[in-house]
Amino acid sequence: MRINSKYCRTRLSIGFFLCLVYAVAGADPTSIPSVAPKEAAAMQTTKKAIIVDVREDNEWQEQHIPGAIHIPLGQLNARLAELNRYKNSTIITQCRSGRRSAQALEVLKSAGFTQIYNMNGGLTAWTNAGLSTE
């Protein structure tokens, strides 16, 4: 298996940057509001929340949560207008494992969204919980 070193350096840089931001701000990265996959599924089913999948296009095409909105993290700032109608609704951000969706939560928070949660464990935890995907 070949590892893309540029990709790894970028991921490490983003992770380091977020830790630095949290440290400077005095925030605890574990204090991000979050929900478990089964709770997210129940909230989506009862129309109490929408799920925003921030994974890349190829990840989305392989497998995704039915009814989720797909906006890759790298495009989120440019596509915030697509979520404006949900500004006063509950939004659950989701990725593969929960890291990118935590970053997306911060982007949404900065844009004035207030009812936002990160899905613990991302799509990995969703499928491990036996929840359906497409």
The stretch 59-82 carries a mean pLDDT of 97
Is 95 catalytic? The answer is yes
Reported as a pLDDT band with limits 50, 70 and 90, residue 31 is confident
Choose the weakest-confidence range: 8-22, 31-45, 59-73, 110-124.
8-22
Task: Choose, from 95, 108, 116, 119, the residue flagged as catalytic.
Answer: 95
Contact present, 71 and 81 (Cβ < 8 Å): no
Superfamily of domain 32-128: Rhodanese-like domain (3.40.250.10)
Query: Residue 4's pLDDT is what?
Result: 53
Average pLDDT, the chain: 84
**Nearest in space to 128 (alpha carbons), one of 51, 37, 43:** 37
The alpha carbon of residue 85 and the mean position of all alpha carbons in its chain are separated, in whole angstroms, by 18
DSSP bridge partners of 92: 51, 117
